[in-house]
C-alpha cells in the first residue's frame, strides 16, 4: 500500500492536534511535518516535499493562499488542500487560482478530509460538498456558466485539455501527458475557454464540476 506523506499547517493548537490525530489514525498516511504560521509552512514544505500539504487559509505571517501561490510551481509533486472556515466563492476562487487542488471546510474536516487527501493524491481535485450551495446556487450569477448552445461544442482534445487544467496540472505537465507541445496546450485551452465563456482557473474548475468531469478524472 502506498503511503502518502502529509504536512499540516494551522495556527490553532486544538485544530492542529485534531488534524494530526486524523492523519495518524489512517494507515495510508504519514504525518511528516507541522507548522503554525505561513513562513513556517513554507520552510516545512520545502524541507519535507510532502505528497499532500493541508493549509489553513488564515495562517499568520503569510496566509495559506500566499503559501500555495509561492510553492505550487516549485513543489509540483505536492497537492495543496485549503482548509478553511470561509464558505464563499471569493476565497474558493483565490485558493484554486493560487494552485490549491482541494478545498475543505473546517466544520466538515472530520468527514471529508480523508476523501480530499485521496482525491488530490491521485491527481484529482476535491471540493467540499457543502460548497456546492455557494458555487452552483440556483438563481445566482456565477462567472462560470454552461456553454451557450449557439456556440460550437468542444472538440475531444479541447475537452481533454480543459479537464486536465481543472485538476491543477501545469501546461508543461499536460503537454507531456498528451504528447503535444506546450503551445498546442495553450491553444486548445484558449479555444475551449472562449467557447465556454470562461476565464480564470477557478472558472474552469466550476465549469468542469458542473459538467460532471471531475468525478471521472
Tens-place pLDDT, residues 161-201: 888 887 767 788 889 889 999 999 999 998 888 888 887 77
Instruction: Give me 206's grid cell.
Output: 466550476
Continuous segment of H or E residues that includes residue 82: strand 79-84
Does the pLDDT at position 107 exceed 80? yes
Does the pLDDT at position 215 exceed 80? no
Does the pLDDT at position 32 exceed 90? yes
Q: Measured between alpha carbons, how far is 199 from 204 in angstroms, rounded to an integer?
A: 7
Domain boundaries, the chain: 4-135, 156-216
Q: Measured between alpha carbons, how far is 23 from 113 in angstroms, rounded to an integer?
A: 9
CATH superfamily of 4-135: Response regulator (3.40.50.2300)
Q: Which CATH architecture has domain 156-216?
A: Orthogonal Bundle (1.10)
Q: pTM for the whole thing?
A: 0.69
Amino acid at each position: 500500500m502506498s503511503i502518502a506523506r502529509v504536512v499540516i499547517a494551522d495556527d490553532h493548537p486544538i485544530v492542529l492536534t485534531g488534524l494530526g490525530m486524523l492523519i495518524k489514525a489512517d494507515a495510508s498516511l504519514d504525518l511528516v511535518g507541522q507548522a503554525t504560521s505561513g513562513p513556517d509552512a513554507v520552510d516545512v514544505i520545502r524541507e519535507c516535499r510532502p505528497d499532500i500539504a493541508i493549509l489553513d487559509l488564515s495562517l499568520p505571517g503569510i496566509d495559506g493562499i500566499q503559501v500555495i501561490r509561492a510553492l505550487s510551481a516549485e513543489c509540483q509533486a505536492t497537492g495543496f488542500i485549503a482548509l478553511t472556515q470561509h464558505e464563499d466563492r471569493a476565497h474558493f476562487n483565490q485558493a484554486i487560482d493560487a494552485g490549491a487542488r482541494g478545498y475543505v471546510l473546517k466544520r466538515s474536516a472530520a468527514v471529508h478530509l480523508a476523501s480530499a487527501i485521496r482525491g488530490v493524491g491521485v491527481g484529482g481535485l476535491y471540493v467540499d460538498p457543502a460548497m456546492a450551495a455557494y458555487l452552483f446556487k440556483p438563481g445566482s450569477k456565477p462567472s462560470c456558466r454552461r456553454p451557450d448552445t449557439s456556440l460550437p461544442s468542444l472538440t475531444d482534445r479541447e475537452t481533454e485539455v480543459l479537464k486536465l487544467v481543472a485538476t491543477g496540472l501545469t501546461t508543461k505537465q499536460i503537454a507531456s501527458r498528451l504528447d503535444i507541445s506546450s503551445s498546442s496546450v495553450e491553444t486548445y485551452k484558449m479555444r475551449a475557454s472562449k467557447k465556454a465563456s470562461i476565464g480564470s482557473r477557478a472558472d474552469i474548475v466550476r465549469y468542469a464540476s458542473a459538467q460532471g468531469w471531475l468525478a471521472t478524472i
